[in-house]
Chain A
Amino acid sequence: MTQQFGGLTAVSDFNVRLKNNRIAGLIGPNGAGKTTVFNLVSGFYQPTRGTISVCGKPTAGLKPHKVTALGVARTFQNIRLWNQMSVLDNIKVAQHGWLDYGFFQSVMRTRAYRDCEERIDREAKDLLEIFELENYANDYPTNLPYGLQRKLEIVRALSEKPKLLLLDEPAAGLNSKDMRELIRLVRWINETYDLCIWIIDHHMDVMMELCSEIKVIDFGQTIAEGTPDEVRNDPAVITAYLGDDNI
């Protein structure tokens, strides 16, 4: 697929096939077009050329909330939680695509409404408990430590039962302890849930430990792909990153 913004080609002829139960990585220098790839996959942009399918279903022309309902959930490079809503509500509102009721039923408080709200409440609380966030259920996200905000955003995405989970720089801004925690978390999610994870990050040690395959892009072009070791020793990658002290 290709994405152009005016004259700028942010992503050019990008091609990927993600496998279930695997963790894939996407790296590249700043401005390479990594986030744009995620924006394309999550339906935020429509590709200028090319197609995207989720489990065989094409996403062309679908609004982002529909793409999410098909099974793509994501986090953002800059945390985008709803900060004036409790942690629990952050999870609950993310279930919008799976509500069994609409406006009139919400006003009439029908059986369907009550069953659905109860189910969502229970599932959201269970999820917070699994990820040890239950003590923060009624807090606002901004009152959580930074590492837990990152975690909450991942949990919120996971609550949508995705088949593909996109993590955009989940380690950005984390200290080394939180980073170990993150690696454990992502690995645990990968082993526990039946899904495919795709990560963008600059921290090579994180990527080395987690990913089974990595793609490298620069100026929208795919310049290398392979296992973490192959990629690390690829001369094209070294050139692209030259001067970047993240590596």
Chain B
Amino acid sequence: MLRKYSVQLILIALGGIITYIAYQELVSLYILTVLMFMGVNIILSSSLNLVNGYMGEFSCGHAGFMCVGAYVSSVLGVLLFTKDKIFGAPLLNPDLAVYLFPVIIIIGGIAAALFGLLVALPSYKTRGDYLAIITLAANYIIISLIQNMDIIGGSRGFMGMKKVISNMEDVVYLPWMVIWVFVFTVGSIWILRRYVSSVFGKGVSAICQDEVAAEIMSVNTNKIKTITFMLSSGLAGIAGGLFAYIVGYVNPGSFNILKSTEALVMVYLGGMASLSGSVLSAILFTILLELLRPLQIIKWVVIPLILIVLMQFRPEGIMGNRELSDIFPKLKRFYRFK
């Protein structure tokens, strides 16, 4: 009984504690922001791990899908709930933002999932290096599209999301961003975990290990690829939407190949096909990024260097194909996360 619900209880407690800390302003805004970035990074790395780790494809354009989610939910929020120079008066009562915020984030995710088709459809016939190039192209296509859309600011970027958040806080004063980042992070892991542990989702690993055998053994490989790419990019879109509302400002430049590389580093640091690895590495990586911030651009010498060292000495990453419960089997007695 306790075992069955222990994870849920811990998560609820954790969410409660974080919300309380944020509500009472027990820590600085800076630390809160870093915590929220951790959530965003956890979603990014675990969703990318679905494609790169579980399915064995090499996607290096994850930030593109993040960009779609960021822009769709930002524009939607500003359009619906705030008075904007370009879009004019809010289309809906600004007070509704407090209820509709998660819907907006999810719509951003759905839009990103649709852009995932940009990679999913070519994947029927293409794999490996060639598909990797397609993911790179998808990343560029998305960024260039947005750079050329002047109505949403083009390459100058887009802002106004802070106003949506303050509308929400005006209705009910709660640290809304902290709450929603937490909920979406837990939700994403939970969806991924359930997907890859079902017989249906194990079709993803079957494709990774031997695609021909998978197809002959009755796995509809095209369908599984479509679902997997769309789920992965959809979750990246959700991460993007959250990121946009945390920062309050987005521009296409922040979703370029450098951002995709960050996601890749987290996946390889954590280990392929390991969700707990991706969570762990996202947390470590976020902290590392902050510690290296004084180095400014030099950090992009240090981080790839870490990757090289990692590939030399522990190519399978921190966890590599294992979950926490595989390393500490005793943990199974205390929790069941499904």
Q: Which residues of A approach B to under 8 Å, CB–CB?
A: 42, 44, 63-65, 68-69, 73-74, 76, 80-85, 89, 92-99, 101-103, 106-107, 109, 113, 116-117, 120, 156-157, 160
Flag whether B33 is at the interface (Cβ < 8 A): no
Flag whether B301 is at the interface (Cβ < 8 A): no
B65 to chain A, nearest CB (A): 18
List B contacts of A157 (CB < 8 A). 217
- A84–B321 CB distance below 8 A: yes
Q: Which residues of B approach A to under 8 Å, CB–CB?
A: 191, 194-195, 198-203, 205-206, 208-210, 212-222, 227, 231, 321, 338
- A68–B199 CB distance below 8 A: no
- A80–B212 CB distance below 8 A: yes
- B198–A113 CB distance below 8 A: yes
**A94, B205: Cα distance in complex, Å:** 12
**A96, B213: Cα distance in complex, Å:** 12
**A68, B221: Cα distance in complex, Å:** 13
**A83, B205: Cα distance in complex, Å:** 10
List B contacts of A93 (CB < 8 A). 199, 202-203, 205-206, 214, 217, 219
- A84–B195 CB distance below 8 A: no
Listed residue (A69, A82, A93, A117) with the most chain B CB atoms within 10 angstroms of its CB: A93
- B195–A103 CB distance below 8 A: yes
- A84–B199 CB distance below 8 A: no
Given contacts A63-B215, A80-B213, contact A99 B200 (CB under 8 A): yes
List A contacts of B210 (CB < 8 A). 80-82
List B contacts of A101 (CB < 8 A). 200
- A106–B218 CB distance below 8 A: no
A228 to chain B, nearest CB (A): 29
List A contacts of B198 (CB < 8 A). 106, 113, 117
**A193, B186: Cα distance in complex, Å:** 47
B59 to chain A, nearest CB (A): 19
List B contacts of A68 (CB < 8 A). 216-218
A59 to chain B, nearest CB (A): 13
- B218–A117 CB distance below 8 A: no
- B194–A109 CB distance below 8 A: yes
- B218–A98 CB distance below 8 A: yes
- B199–A82 CB distance below 8 A: no
Listed residue (B200, B209, B216) with the most chain A CB atoms within 10 angstroms of its CB: B216
Interface pairs (8), CB distance under 8 Å: A65-B216, A76-B213, A80-B213, A83-B209, A84-B205, A85-B209, A95-B218, A101-B200
List A contacts of B212 (CB < 8 A). 44, 80
**A85, B204: Cα distance in complex, Å:** 11
Closest B residue to A67 by beta carbon equals: B216
Closest A residue to B224 by beta carbon equals: A96
- A85–B202 CB distance below 8 A: yes
Known A93-B202, A95-B218, A106-B200; further 7 A-B contacts with Cβ < 8 A: A44-B216, A63-B222, A81-B213, A82-B213, A83-B209, A93-B214, A106-B198
Given contacts A82-B213, A103-B227, contact A96 B219 (CB under 8 A): yes
- B219–A65 CB distance below 8 A: yes
**A98, B214: Cα distance in complex, Å:** 14
List A contacts of B218 (CB < 8 A). 65, 68-69, 94-98, 160
Closest A residue to B216 by beta carbon equals: A64
Closest B residue to A42 by beta carbon equals: B216
List A contacts of B209 (CB < 8 A). 82-85
List A contacts of B222 (CB < 8 A). 63
- B202–A89 CB distance below 8 A: yes
**A199, B209: Cα distance in complex, Å:** 26
Partner of B220, one of A65, A83, A92, A116: A65
Given contacts A85-B209, A101-B200, contact A156 B215 (CB under 8 A): no
List B contacts of A120 (CB < 8 A). 199
**A64, B213: Cα distance in complex, Å:** 10
- A160–B200 CB distance below 8 A: no
Closest B residue to A79 by beta carbon equals: B213
- B194–A107 CB distance below 8 A: yes
**A213, B143: Cα distance in complex, Å:** 64
- A117–B194 CB distance below 8 A: no
**A47, B217: Cα distance in complex, Å:** 20
A147 to chain B, nearest CB (A): 19
Listed residue (A68, A94, A101) with the most chain B CB atoms within 10 angstroms of its CB: A94
A62 to chain B, nearest CB (A): 12
